[in-house]
Amino acid sequence: MGVEIEEVARTIKRPDLVQMYYYLRLTRTLEDRITALYRQGRIVGGVYTSNGMEAVAVGYASALEPDDIIAPYHRDMGAFLVRGITPGEVVAQYLGKRTGPTKGKDGNVHIGDLKRGIIGFVSHLADNYPVATGAALSFRLRGEPRVVVTNTGDGGTSRGDFHEAMNFASVRKLPVVFFCNNNQYAYSTPLNLQMAIPNVVDRAKAYAIPGEIVDGNDVAAVHLAAKRAVQRARSGEGPTFIECKTMRMHGHSEHDSAKYVPRELLEEWKKRDPILKAEQWLTRLGYGDETLFREVEERVKKEVEAGVEFAEQSPLPEGPEVLDGVFAD
């Protein structure tokens, strides 16, 4: 599950790791800011964060080429940001503004934008697994060297759609990488009531898909695993399943106090915070120190504040805009 320093030093260049660190910080700061807005009653609807799990989305999204596609789930804010969705657009989406990626039609993490290679998230968990498979199928049919990465939670892997997608992708060796963000709870449901196996990765065996367990709090480890899987997919060897072990540090959504999670478990995982972990790598590799960390922190704060301002000043859509866009032209 862990990775050696030699491997990281050899395979991840300084600017790449610094950039991943930047996205981890950006994700955390942005989501914390949105949570604060929610507490002030300025956001309608729910707030779902990836607090404590930022390394998964940042790690996989930064392993992709611009032409590749992601089909994320609701705790992949980092992936949206890596793909070029701006903090301002995210806040606008949360506020239901016209400048959000869905122009107020949808909210919060339901972001999609094909121009930036993002297949929109559907609440119905695991629904994006078959869709990602279909995108990969099109690349295979057209002989394009592109790859699709999709993600879901441990809970989502109990859905039939998850299994149907895995099977089809494996039979046809499609260029898709299946991620699972195993944060040990699905809403209030612990893993042992979700499945009778200790590791989600075991589900991949039934479909002859190679699986791997990764420390989901280590952005370097996630990134390297994603790179390997993407490479496999691109070279025609078919899908890989990657289980990221992590912990959801907030409630399912911000209205949920998550009393069902033992506090000790949270304390333990707090020590493994992905931002802390990334700072450790940067330090150990001689890529950066406190000065760099403070610089990045200041930079993302400014970007998030600018984003909030942009979103707040953006117009709301007007009622009749509801009728636009049901059909394509």
Ligand X SMILES: Cc1ncc(C[n+]2csc(CCOP(=O)(O)OP(=O)(O)O)c2C)c(N)n1
> Interface with ligand X by CB under 6 A: which range of 59-67, 122-130, 162-170, 287-295?
122-130
Closest C-alpha among 10, 28, 21 to residue 288: 21
Instruction: Give yes or no for residue 323 binding other proteins (CB under 8 A).
Output: yes
Query: Residue 219 and residue 18: Cα distance in Å, rounded?
Result: 11
Dihedral of alpha carbons 36, 42, 47, 53, sign: negative
Between strands 176-182 and 240-245, the pairing is parallel
41 binds other proteins (CB under 8 A): no
SS3 185: strand
**Binding pattern for the stretch 143-162 against ligand X, x by CB under 6 A and - elsewhere:** ---------xxxxx--x---
| 3-class DSSP state of 151 | strand
Residue 148 and residue 177 in contact, taking contact as beta carbons nearer than 8 Å: yes
Q: Check residue 104 for interaction with other proteins (CB under 8 A).
A: yes
3-state secondary structure 53-89: CHHHHHHHHCCCCCCCEEECCCCCHHHHHHCCCCHHH
Q: What x/- string results for residues 57 through 86 when contact with ligand X is judged by CB under 6 A? A: ------------------x-----------
Is there binding between residue 251 and ligand X (CB under 6 A)?
A: no
- If one asks whether residue 42 binds other proteins (CB under 8 A), the answer comes out as no
**Beta carbon nearer to ligand X, 75 or 83:** 75
Among 13, 14, 188, 268, binds other proteins (CB under 8 A): 188
Q: CA 194, CA 183: separation in Å to the nearest integer?
A: 12
d(CA 318, CA 205): 50
Work out which of 34, 77, 186, 201 binds ligand X, going by CB under 6 A.
186
Query: Quick check: 245 binds ligand X (CB under 6 A)?
Result: no
Based on the shown chain and the rule CB under 8 A, indicate whether residue 198 belongs to the binding site for other proteins: no
What's 215's DSSP letter? E
CB of 69 to other proteins, least distance (A): 21
Of the candidate spans 39-47, 205-213, 285-293, 299-307, the one that interacts with other proteins by CB under 8 A turns out to be 39-47
Least Cβ distance, residue 276 to other proteins (angstroms): 30
Sign of CA dihedral 140, 145, 146, 148: positive
Angle subtended by helix axes 54-61 and 14-39, to nearest 10: 140
Torsion 298-303-304-308 (CA) sign? positive
Judged by the rule CB under 6 A, the positions of this chain that interact with ligand X are 75, 123-125, 152-156, 159, 181, 183, 185-187, 248, 252
Judged by the rule CB under 8 A, the positions of this chain that interact with other proteins are 44-46, 96-97, 102, 104-108, 110, 122-125, 155-156, 158-161, 186-189, 193-195, 260, 316-323, 326
